[in-house]
Structure 1
Amino acid sequence: MTSSSEEALAHSTSEASLARSKERSAQIDIAITEDPSRFRILTGDRPTGHLHLGHYFGTLRNRVLLQNRGVDTWVLVADYQVITDRDGVGPIRERVINLVADYIAAGIDPERSTIFNHSAIPALNQLLLPFLSLVTESELHRNPTVKSELEATNGRAMSGLMLTYPVHQAADILFCKANLVPVGQDQLPHLEQARLIAQRFDKRYGRADASRPVFPRPEALLSEVPLLLGTDGTKMSKSRGNTIELGMSADETAKILKKAKTDAERHISYDPLNRPEVSNLLMLASLASGEDPHVIAEQIGDKGAGALKMYVTDALNAMLAPMRERRAELIAHEDYLLSVLRAGNDRANEQANATLAEVRQAMQMNY
């Protein structure tokens, strides 16, 4: 088979797999409505900086919706994963506290959801040892995140933690017996790695009762939010400085959007393919206001980029205002935020210890 034929086959297989994932995701969404108690989700973020609109529209808002639909929601502050690709942790205490504040301000309810952090859950991290015995080096190198990191290092040696990043994510998902993970399309390979580890563990060790596997096979709940660009028209990223952080003021938001990249055409239209920057601003306004982006474009018409930016600014500031007010209250009460994290860690430790005990029993290491 020629190289081009192999690439075409791989692309076709990938497209077919994505179509199946979307179909299954739609079925799961219906099942949640019918009986949310069947599901537990695991999701989270690395505390490498402040959360921004990409985080909110991409994942955070959906977590709140799932929580409010009755799904058992576990939210991880992935502090150990900060050092996968960094030489230090930075101002990590401040970032962890800010992350917890962002979660609660956005609507994550500590009474209904479990907020916890990696470094406080020893048994979760201990699962890495048996899990690493279930994957090969070549499988880890094929993971898209690992591959892209390797390509971006410019010859710098990759850390062992970065190489095993997908296995650490599997431990995050499987320790709490999560059977559902909200992900974007680019994260599907990570979830597949977790499913593979769960399957291999049960095949190698398992239980006397094969109908009760140690780990569930986690499934994907795909996000329907389109990819958002940064204000400079490139990928939205903390490191690029092209984001609007959730904790920014209304004036800071207006200042950033005033400099947002558009194009030379005065008439405003929603055309993601040919006018990506203008369409991105329209999508931000749509997500904030609930109005269709085409309708917003028609309302602005020939008023130009200035009117578009003003519309987006007003829509985002109106949406973020109550969140910002709540966040300011929370940041002023650090003891409360730490108590939320401690309570979540207590629950996570109880679950992690129970799971590790099951693993040790299955491996006949319970002596």
Structure 2
Amino acid sequence: MPVSTMPEATMPTSATPHEPSSPTTPGSTTRSAAAARERTAVLESQIVQRPGDYRVLTGDRPTGALHLGHLLGTVANRVRLQDLGVEVFLIVADYQVITDRDDAGDLPATVREVLLDYLAAGLDPERSTVFTHSAVPALNQLLLPFLSLVTVAELERNPTVKAEAAAAAERGGRGMSGLLFTYPVHQAADILFCHGNLVPVGVDQLPHLEITRTVARRFNQRYAAAQPYFPEPDALIAPSTTILGADGRRMSKSRGNALELRASDDETVAYFKRARTDSDRAITYEPERRPEIANLLQIGAYFTGTTPQALADEVGSAGAGRLKAVVTEAVVEGLRPLRARRAELASAGPRHLAEALARGNARANAIADRTLDDVRDLMGMRY
């Protein structure tokens, strides 16, 4: 349904006066991956026409500096949406760091590294709202009424929860934390506190978003049937595939196979030298049969502004060595402006980062406070 045909979302009087309309249909059922991709194509055309109708919530757990997989998988898309005029809320989910670990490490230092990466990549704190979980109490308080809207069985069926439960059983010792078990509902609070109506996700994350849609729908049915309060957010399927690390597995800092955005040119060269390929000399783009080669082609294509297939045709029978050389040069040159900007920000000291985060936290708090006030009113809990 085109956004232009949707009425403005009706909010209680204390809500943010410029809340975007919801591009979803209340009561709609779980969408398949194919349907989500079709919907994404429609949304992309609408975003270009009316970016102000959309409010995006996205973010990362601050477990380390960002890497190439973050840039190609999420960060570049966030910058694109921001530059199109979409209102972007970017959460540094520090509470989520402790869902599955006893030691969170030096969180202040890690958050600073993530902020450096965000700003260096082009996210503008004057246009996008960057904030931390722990700095927005009203957002987290929404978790309590939202938990009443889902069942234990529904949480147990969530893929992330199921996977962690299985992993905990295998390794013994510490079981799954209550925070991790309720993670899908905490994510719903992250999205709905600001009335987010668009969430960039991969296909594997659709079940998470469905919990958010369920929470919004049930809250509206129970407490705001006459004038639905929360939008049911849409999924914007990520434009790129999963980026693999040098060992052929999904790129992850915890696996030690990631190329950090802050890495030096020499580190970048060394990284791609050890990247896995295969024994076929002719370079072809076949993601299913040749995932490591396809991964290099996707990375190279991103930084050269071409397609993986075109890059494969260019390298042809020159082999994996030539492909690695082409990709290495493309990444080094492509990341040069980002790395220069990052170094400039880092040399300026922590004050600029602290000020940017303080502005984002203040804006997020103002919106979360209004949302929590509205929720209390709708639930009859204003005393």
Where on the TM-score scale, by shorter chain, does this alignment land: which range?
over 0.9
**TM-score normalized by structure 2?**
0.89
Partner of 1:11 in structure 2?
Answer: none
- Structure 1: where are the runs of 5+ without partners? 1-13
Q: Does 1:275 align with 2:290?
A: yes
Paired amino acid for 1:349: N
Whether 2:193 is the aligned partner of 1:178: answer no
Name which of 225, 229, 245 aligns with 2:244. Answer: 229
Shift of 1:366: 0.9
Q: Please show how residues 176-255 of structure 1 align to structure 2 within 5 Å.
A: 176-206=194-224, 210=226, 212-255=227-270
How far apart are the structure 2 equivalents of 1:182 and 1:278? 26
Query: 1:54-65 counterparts in 2 under 5 A?
Result: 54-65=69-80
Shift of residue 16 of structure 1?
Answer: 6.9
Matched, 1:336 2:352: yes
Amino acid at match of 1:198: A
Q: Give yes or no for the alignment of 1:359 onto 2:375.
A: yes
Q: Deviations over 1:232-268 (max 9, x none)?
A: 1112211111111111111101111111111122222
SS for the counterpart of 2:254 is coil
1:201 CA displacement = 1.0
The separation in 2 between residues aligned to 1:348 and 1:15, in whole angstroms, is 29
What per-residue deviation string (whole Å, max 9, x for no partner) do you get for residues 285-340 of structure 1? 01111122222222222322221111110001111000001011112221100110
TM-superposed deviation, 1:15: 11
Partner of 1:307: 322
**Secondary structure of 1:220's aligned partner:** strand
CA change 1:316–1:15 in 2 (3 A) is farther
Moved over 3 A (4+): none
Per the alignment, do residues 320 and 342 of structure 1 end up closer, same or farther by CA in structure 2, a change over 3 Å counting? same
Residue 179 (structure 1) shift: 0.7
Comparing 261-270 with 213-222, greater Cα deviation is found at 261-270
Residue 5 of structure 1: aligned partner: none
Secondary structure in structure 2 of the residue aligned to 1:236:
coil
Matched residue count: 351
Q: Secondary structure at the match of 1:115?
A: strand
Tell me if the contact between 2:220 and 2:229 (Cα under 8 Å) persists in the aligned partners.
yes
1:112 to 127, 132, 137: 127
Deviations 1:337-364 (A, max 9, x none): 0110000000000000000000000111
Instruction: Read off the aligned partner of 1:195 and give its amino acid letter.
Output: R
Equivalent-residue separation in structure 2 for 1:113 and 1:16 (angstroms): 29
Q: In the alignment, is the contact (CA less than 8 A) between 2:30 and 2:210 conserved in 1?
A: no
Cα deviation, residue 157, structure 1: 1.3
Task: Give the match for residue 51 of structure 1.
Answer: 66
Selected match of 2:110 from 85, 90, 95: 95
| C-alpha deviation, 1:91, in angstroms | 1.5
Structure 1 residues 266 and 19: alpha-carbon distance in aligned structure 2, compared to 1, 3 A threshold? closer
SS at 1:239 equivalent: helix
Tell me the equivalent position of 1:127. 142
SS in 1 for 2:339: helix
- Work out the CA distance in 1 between the residues paired with 2:212 and 2:245: 31
Distance 1:15 1:120 in 2: 32
The question of 1:21 aligning with 2:36 is answered: yes
Contact 2:120-2:338 at 8 Å conserved across structures: yes
1:3 corresponding residue in structure 2: none
CA distance in 1 between counterparts of 2:297 and 2:281 reads 14
The CA RMSD measured in Å over matched residues stands at 1.5
Q: Which amino acid aligns with 1:25?
A: T
Q: Is the Cα–Cα contact under 8 Å of residues 116 and 353 in structure 2 kept in the other structure?
A: yes
Q: Which amino acid aligns with 2:370?
A: A
